[in-house]
Amino acid sequence: MLDIQARTLSGLQKGLGWRTIGLLIPTVIPAVIPTVILTAISAILGVSGPAQALPGETVRDVQAWIKAHPTLLPAPGETLVVRKSDTAAQRFSFEASIFPPFPLDTPKGPRVIRHESIKLFDMINGVSPARLAESLRVVYGVDLAQDFDRARVIYRYPQDLQLDRLQQQLTSIQRARQGELRLGDRYAYWLEIVQTPEGRPYNGQIVVLLKEDIDGLEAQLRQ
């Protein structure tokens, strides 16, 4: 049974280009398939190997990692930014940057990565925190996914405002954005979902950043 599933998914991966196995799992594989089988399938297809290039590494090392990554599969000319789009309704991007994920700061150095982000836009299936967390596992591997799972939530927004007058003070953009900052043993993480005015979560991102940059990001989000 496992061999049949693996061959079927391998064929789907080849036929659907950027729609990697990790992003297909929520819609292609029935929910009744045990997690252990999903893990085995990912291992067979080589889409969840260990992380090799993360914030704090040099630009050169991260570029080489992206180029060789079996899931990111950058197009010719793509180095630190990878964009995939099957239709206008579904988009994926990965970006590594020498800047922190907030403005008004200078790079640590011109050749050191400060943060990496995974962004999903999906008007068909929607974007959920669980799907972003699964994307993190597919791109970086189990070790980093476990660091994220164990990380402590230090800030969550919008805060639970019980009073109507406080709710009314939020702008429409503030009400649409839902996210949290986590501090792990290895890295800090920023997860965010942006809903439409109708409350549909079509857009989201998960960011891996240096722990030393978490205070600056939290200060920006609290403004």
pLDDT tens digits for 117-138?
999 999 999 999 999 999 999 9
Same domain for 24 and 119? no
Q: How confident is the model at residue 166 (pLDDT cuts 50, 70, 90)?
A: low
What is the SS3 string spanning the chain? CHHHHHHHHHHHHHHHCCCCHHHHHHHHCCCCCCHHHHHHHHHHHCCCCCCCCCCCCEHHHHHHHHHHCCCCCCCCCCCCEEEEEEECCEEEEEEEECCCCCCCCCCCCCCECCEEEEEEEECCCCCCHHHHHHHHHHHHCHHHHHHHHHCEEEEEECCCCCCHHHHHHCCHHHHHEEEEEEECCCCEEEEEEEECCCCCEEEEEEEEECHHHHHHHHHHHCC
Number of structural domains found in the chain:
2
Same domain for 80 and 35? no
> Which domain covers residue 30, as residue numbers?
1-47
Last residue of a domain, one of 9, 30, 47: 47
Q: What is the pLDDT of residue 8?
A: 32
Q: Look-up: residue for tokens 């939020």? A: 170
Same domain for 74 and 138? yes
Q: How do residues 83-120 score in pLDDT, each as one tens digit?
A: 999 889 999 999 999 999 987 666 666 689 999 999 99
Same domain for 74 and 161? yes
Same domain for 6 and 32? yes
Q: What pTM did the predictor assign?
A: 0.75
Same domain for 79 and 120? yes
Same domain for 31 and 110? no
Q: How do residues 175-217 score in pLDDT, each as one tens digit?
A: 678 999 999 999 999 999 998 888 889 999 999 999 999 999 9
pLDDT over threshold 60, residue 42: no
Same domain for 115 and 14? no
Same domain for 56 and 7? no
